[in-house]
Structure 1
Amino acid sequence: MNIETMIGELLALIIMALALGMDAFSVGLGMGLIRLKFKQIFYIGVTIGVFHIWMPLVGMLIGRVLSDKFGTIATLLGGGLLILLGVQMVLSSFSKDEKPLITPVGMGLIVFALSVSLDSFSVGLSLGIYGAKTFLTVLIFGIVSMILTWCGLLVGKRVQTWLGSYSEALGGSILLAFGVKLIFPF
């Protein structure tokens, strides 16, 4: 394999990682609109990065064995989870409690990370069928999604101070819209 082919494959993987990580950025932007501490932002980014490593890894391993029929199911599950998170955030913004119904800690963080990384599972299925380099692929996906999540959360945190009490409703609306877009691509 010559150097030009290797650079071309690396560039393709980086572009794919950016495309997959943009949903983590968008969802991070919405989630950043709730009150988060910098420590939470760090852990959220790392968790999403880890999920963007193991979800395509599992997808690649299964993709080498099975067809890509599961890609649609993964996308629908991810969209459904984002819709659920979005609805909960919007409803929480109208309640008298200061605490949102779901927060990105503990099980809420797992659900959040799973919802934004399910699309990388379906991409992993395709890459597994194609025979992509596993370690390099999942490493790039994880690092890029972690960085983009941090960026989205930090921008959301900054904007949250400007929007006040409406920030959680806006964040939930972003998650809801992104979930609908996953289920009904238009």
Structure 2
Amino acid sequence: MNLKHLQYFRVLAEMEHFTQAALRLCITQPSLSHAISELEKDLGVHLFEKQGRNIRLNKYGRFFLKYVEHAMDELEKGEHNLRELVSPSHGNVDLAFIYTLGSHFIPAIIQAFSASDARKDISFSFHQGNTNDIIQGLKQEHYDVAFCSHMENEPDVEFIPLAQQELVVIVSPDHPLASLDQIDLKDTAAYPFIFF
């Protein structure tokens, strides 16, 4: 049993006429007959009865048709929704970003992106986290795109620099690091952080 056989069965069940169904399906009548025969062989039951020169759906065919119609409707709905999801003018983008970008950077780029009428039907799902968690989520396909810090030794992730920020340490005037003009990040390891 394959999807084509089910599609052919659905049309033939509606029309109950091999020639007309074959015309609608744009296939030959022998091809349609063969497909239905294969489907019946797979199922182990006849789905149609001959009625003069025509055919009609029998009770097994009517029983099976309900399931085929439901399955085909679900597949068509899934195909439609998938096409919308990947459409450049529709769909949803799962976007992750580090906490520090949430107040200004992300709102600004989303506003700029959404300003175009061609993108007005694209929606976003936002996720905040630290760089390690975001990278893991990206590799597990939880996110479509992420804004985070660069990490070394991540061959499965492509990093594209968008911005560069200077890191500064803010301390009280009497702190041991306050007298230095420049420090290495490792020099801060001994002190507790209030906020990054």
Q: Which has the higher contact order (CA 8 A, sep 6+)?
A: 1
Select the structure that is richer in helix.
Answer: 1
| Length-normalised TM-score, structure 1 | 0.25
TM-score calculated relative to the size of structure 2: 0.24
Considering only CA atoms, is the larger Rg found in Structure 1 or Structure 2? 2
